[in-house]
Chains A and B, each alone.
Chain A
C-alpha cells in the first residue's frame, strides 16, 4: 500500500450559473496523487484553481450548475456521496483545507485554542478538555506556544494567525490537506517561515498536500509534482524536475519566462493578452489566442493529452510525434 494512489480525480468538471451565462470553472480534469506527495497547482487568477480546490472538498457555491466526474479517495468515490455522510466522514476528517485569506476570517471573539479544537468536538465528539489538550499539541507543532493558544486572534501577528489556520487544518489528522494560497497575504520572510513549517510537517507527519498558488517560484519550496491550469483545464502535469527542465506546453514555458529571479541573468518576458472568459472559452486549445506558436489545428480541435514520459502529460500539439 506504500505507493498507492491516495486521491484519483477523473474527468472532474464544474460549472456555475451566473446572470451573464454559465461559467465552466473546471473542465474535465484528471490527475492522481500518491500518499506523501505534494501536487502544486499553478495558474493565473480566474483559471479555476480555487474552484477546483473547493470542488475537491465539495464546497460548491449556491449557483452551481453541473458537477461531473469522479473523485476517488482511497478508492472510494466521494463526489456523489450524500452530503451528510460527506460532512461527517470526509470533510475535515479525511480532507482539510487552508483557505485563502483564512487568517483574516478567524472568529475574533473566540480564543485561538477553542477555534483549533472545534473540529475535534464537532467531528469526533471529543470532550472539551481532551480536545483542548490535543489542540495545544498541534499548536505547539506549528510553533505556537501554549501561552499564545489562550489568546484571541487580534493579539497575534499575521504569521502566527496563519500558523493557527494551519493547525486547524491538521487537527483531525487528515490524509489530504488542500492549501489555497496559504501565504498570499504574508511578507516574504514570514512566508518563508510558513513554507519551512509546511515542509517540516510534511516530513514529520507524511502529509499529502495539494498546494494552490499563482507564485511559481514558491512552489519549488514544496511541490513534488506540478500541474499548470489554464482556463479551467490542466494543460500540463509533470514531476517538478521536468517542469523546469522540460516544460512541454507553450503556456508553461511562457509562465516560467515571466518569473522574476534574483540570481541568474535571464530576461523576463510576459505573455501577451489576458486569460479568456470561462463563459465562452476559445475553441480548440484554449490558449491558442495568446500562443506565439499557434498552428491551424490548435484553433479547431482540442489537443489530446500527450504522454511525454511516465507521469508527465501535456495538452499541446507541439508534442505530436515527439
Chain B
C-alpha cells in the first residue's frame, strides 16, 4: 500500500488565452480532470494525439506548469502549489527527457559540463566525486570511451548520441520519477529501439518510476507496466498494458489501435475504418463525452453528460457511457 510514489487527483491545467477584464475569459483546457496513481518503480505510457494534453500533464507533474486546480502528491507531499524555492528537493527527485534531442542540450556547454550542471545546482559531491558520477553516467548510456565524449559539444554528436546524453542527465541524480516526452519521435527508426531499450534498462536498474509520453502505441507494447489513453485533456482509459491491448474498451482506444499500420502488403488494397474528423477545440470542448462527435457508437447521453470513470475490470478504468 505504501508503495505509492505519485498520486494525481482531479488535476486541471487551463491556459488563459484571453484575459477577461470586461468579457468572459477564454481558457484552453489542456488537462481537465485527471486522476491516477503510480507506484515506485512502475512505468506508464501516456498515449494520445497531439493536443490531447499528454505533454501538458507530464510537465505539470514535473511542476514546470502550475496546475489550475487539483492535487499532485509526490511521496506523500502535496507539491501542486509549492513555490519554486520550496521545490528544490523535488527537482532532485524528478527528471525530464525531452522530445527534441537537438534542442535539449545547451549548445555552448560541452557534454561534461552539461552533466555537471544538475550536480552543481544541487551541491552534490566535490569535483572528483562529480567526475566519477559523470563518467559512470556516460558509461551507463554507452557513450564510450567516456574521455572522448566528455569534452565534445552537442553539435558534434548524432541525434541518438544526444538523446543518450539527455537520458544520462535526467538520471544522474538518481531521481525517483522520470518523465520522458516522446523521447524517440525525432530519431531514425534504426536508433529508436536502442534508445527505448536504454531507457527501460536504466529504469529497471535504478527502480525509477517512468512516465513515457507518446503518440505511438506501437512502441509501448513491450515497454511499460501501464497504458493511459488520453483524449482531449482527459484520460479516457487506463489499464495494465497487456489488459488494455487485449481488451480495449473505449471506442477511441479501439480506433487508435486500428489506425496503427501493420507492415502487411495487403493494407494497400483495403480502406481502413477510422473515425472521421479531428480532436475538438479545447477552448470549447463538447459538453458531454469529448469523443462523442467522432464516435460511431455514441448515444444521446454521450452528448449531454461527461461519463464517469469506472473500474470495469480489475485495474481497468474507462470513461465511457457504453459501460455504465
- State yes or no: do A and B touch (Cβ within 8 Å): yes
Residues of A within 8 A of B (CB): 38, 44-45, 157-160, 187-193, 195-196, 199-200, 214-224, 240-241, 243-244, 254-256, 258-264, 267-272, 274-275
Residue contact A254 to B190, C-beta cutoff 8 Å: yes
Residue contact B271 to A196, C-beta cutoff 8 Å: yes
Closest Cβ–Cβ distance, residue A273 to chain B (whole Å) = 9
Residue contact B263 to A220, C-beta cutoff 8 Å: yes
The residue that B263 contacts in the complex, of A45, A256, A267, with Cβ under 8 A, is A256
Residue contact A255 to B257, C-beta cutoff 8 Å: no
Residue contact A260 to B158, C-beta cutoff 8 Å: no
Residue contact B192 to A270, C-beta cutoff 8 Å: yes
Residue contact B271 to A240, C-beta cutoff 8 Å: no
Q: Number of contacts between A and B (CB, 8 Å)?
A: 127
* Residues 93-140 of B contacting A (Cβ, < 8 Å): none
A193-B276, A254-B190 given; A221·B218 CB < 8 A: no
Bound: A4/B33 CA distance, A: 60
Which residues of the other chain, B, contact A260 by a CB distance below 8 angstroms? 192-193, 216, 218-219, 221
Judged by a CB distance under 8 angstroms, whether B261 is at the interface is: yes
Residue contact A220 to B194, C-beta cutoff 8 Å: no
A244-B263, A244-B265, A256-B263 given; A44·B189 CB < 8 A: yes
Closest Cβ–Cβ distance, residue A264 to chain B (whole Å) = 8
Judged by a CB distance under 8 angstroms, whether B202 is at the interface is: no
Which residues of the other chain, A, contact B189 by a CB distance below 8 angstroms? 44, 214-216, 255, 258-259
Interface residue total, chain B, C-beta cutoff 8 A: 41
Bound: A85/B85 CA distance, A: 68
Bound: A222/B189 CA distance, A: 19
Residue contact A189 to B190, C-beta cutoff 8 Å: no
Closest Cβ–Cβ distance, residue A220 to chain B (whole Å) = 4
Closest Cβ–Cβ distance, residue B115 to chain A (whole Å) = 21
Judged by a CB distance under 8 angstroms, whether B19 is at the interface is: no
Most chain B beta carbons < 10 A, residue from A38, A192, A224? A192
Residue contact B188 to A217, C-beta cutoff 8 Å: no
Residue contact B274 to A193, C-beta cutoff 8 Å: yes
* Residues 185-220 of B contacting A (Cβ, < 8 Å): 188-194, 197, 215-219
Bound: A193/B275 CA distance, A: 8
Q: Which A-chain residue is minimally distant from B276 (CB atoms)?
A: A193
Which residues of the other chain, A, contact B267 by a CB distance below 8 angstroms? 220-221
